[in-house]
Structure 1
Amino acid sequence: MKVGELARATGLTVRTLHHWEERGLVVPSARTHSGHRVYDDGDVRRVYQVVALRELGLPLDAIGSLLTTGSFATVLAAHLEQVDARLAALHTLRGTLAGVVDRLRGAPDPAPSDVLRMIDEVSRVNDTFAQYFTPEQIAALQARRDEAEAAAAQWPDLIAAVRAEMAAGTDPGDPRVQSLASRWAELLATFHRGDEALRERLYRMRSDNPGEVVAAGGPDQAMIDYIAAAADAGR
C-alpha cells in the first residue's frame, strides 16, 4: 500500500511515517515509477513493532537498536506484558469502584479511605502524562507553563477555522489552508521548541489517545491528515 493508505489503516500520520523513514525505522520496500512509497507486508509488521515499542515508552533511538537486534516475537511478548499489566490495574480499579458503589447504596458519601484508594488506583491507571514524558520533559513544560497556556487558548479558534475549510471542501493547497497549517505548526512549536524527542512524545500521546483528545476539543485524525496534506503541499 502507499503511504497515505498505510497512514489511514494504522491511524498514524503521513508525517510520522516519513519521520520514521528518515530515522531508518520503517523504510518502504519499493517505490512506484512516479516515486511514491510502497509498503509490503513486512513493512506493515515493522510499523507494528515501532508502535508497540513506542507504547512501552522507548525513545526512537532505542527502538532502532532493538529492531536491529531483536525479533518480532520479542516485541509481541513485551507488548503483551504491558497490556496484561494495564488490564490488572483496571481490574483492581473496577473491584474498588464496585465495592464503593455497593456501600453507597446505604450511605450518602464514600468513606475517606475509599476516596484515597480510588485516587491512588486511578492515578496508576490514568497517569497519561507521566506515561509519555520523562521527568525532565515535564519540568521543561512546566517551566514555560504560561507560554503554553497562552498558546493552548488559541487552539479552539484555529481548530474551528480548519474544520470550516474542511466542511467547505477547500483544497489543502489553498493559501487559506496553507496559512492555517503554518499557524498550526507555530503553536505546536510553542510546546516542543524544536526538541524532536518531545515532539515525538506529544504526537504519540495524541495518536494513542484519539478519543480523549477529541473529547477535550482537540483535532481528530481527519483534521490532522488535512493539515499534514497542507504542510506537504507547501513544501
Structure 2
Amino acid sequence: MLIGEVARRSGVSARMLRHYESLGLVRPSGRTGSGYREYSGEDIRRIFHIESLRSLGLPLREIGRALDDPDFAPSALVGDLIRQTRQRIAAEMELLTRLRRIDAAEPADWRDVLQAVAFLQALGSKSADARQRAALSSAEEVPVPVEALVEAVLRETEPNVAGALRWALARSGDGGTALLAEGLGSAAAEVRKRAVQALAEMPGGAATDRLRDALPDPDAAVRGYAALALGTRGVADAIPTLVDMIAEGRNDTDAADALSVLASDATAADQIATRLVGRLAHDTTGAPARVRLTQALADIPGPTASGALMELSHDGDRAVALTAMYLLRLRDAH
C-alpha cells in the first residue's frame, strides 16, 4: 500500500508518516519499481500501535523503545504515564487557580496583571520575609486576589507574617469573610484557629456572625479567640466561654478585660456577675480558679457583683475572702 493510501486509511498524514520513518519508528517494508514507499500489513499494524500509544501521552522515542524491546513491561509504562498525567493535571489546576485569582482581582491593565502574578508568587515563597513583603504590598494599591490571601492566612505559621496577612485581608474588604468561614469547617484545629484570628480583625456583622459560629468549637483555643473577639464587639453570647477561660486559667486576664467591656451594659453586667458567682459555687472549681473568678468581679458594676463580693469577703478560703475585701474597699473608694 502506498503512502497516500496509508494516510487516508489510518488518518495519519503523509508528513507524519515520513517523520515516523526518520525516527526509525516504522519503515516501509518495500519500494515500488518507481521508488515509492510501499507499506505491508505489518507496517500498517505498527502504525496503529504507534497511534494508540501516542493517545496515551507517550513520547515518540519512548514508543519506539516500547515496541522494539521484548522485555519492556507494559505495567511500568502505564504506571509512569499515570504519574506523569497526574503531574500535568496538578500543574494545570495550579495554573487555572492562578488565572482565576488574577481575574477575580479585576486587573485594569497588564501592569496590574504582572503585579498580581508577582504577588501570588511571593505569597507562595519559602521565604517568610518575601511573604510578609507581599502582604504589606497590598497597601500600595496592588490588585489583591482575596482567595489567595485567605489561603495564605489559613496556612501561615510564622506569627509576624500571619499578622501582616491578616492586616492585608482586613483591608481588602469583606470578600474574605465567607472564605474564612469555610476555614472554620476544617478538620485541623490550627486552621480553625487561624480562621478565627483573621475573622476577629475583619469588620462588619458578617464576621461577627461567623465568630458566633466558632463558640461551640471543640478546641479550647478556637473558642477562646472567638469569645475574646466577640467580647470586644459587645456580643453577650461570649460570656459563658469567657467565664470558662477565667476558671480554667486560659488567657484569663484578656477574658476578664473582655467581660469588663461587656459589663458596660447593665443587663450584661448582671448576667456576668451571676455566672461568675455560679462558677465560684461549683463543686469542681478549685482554689486558684475561685481567686481568679473573684478578681474578675472587680470591673463588673452593679448590685449583683457588689453583693457577691460582700458574701465572698466571708468565704472560708482566706485568699478569696481577702481578695473580695480588697475589691470592696476599691469600690467604696470610687
Tell me, yes or no, whether TM beats 0.5.
Answer: no
Greater RCO, 1 or 2 (C-alpha within 8 Å, sep 6+): 1
Q: Which has the larger Rg?
A: 2
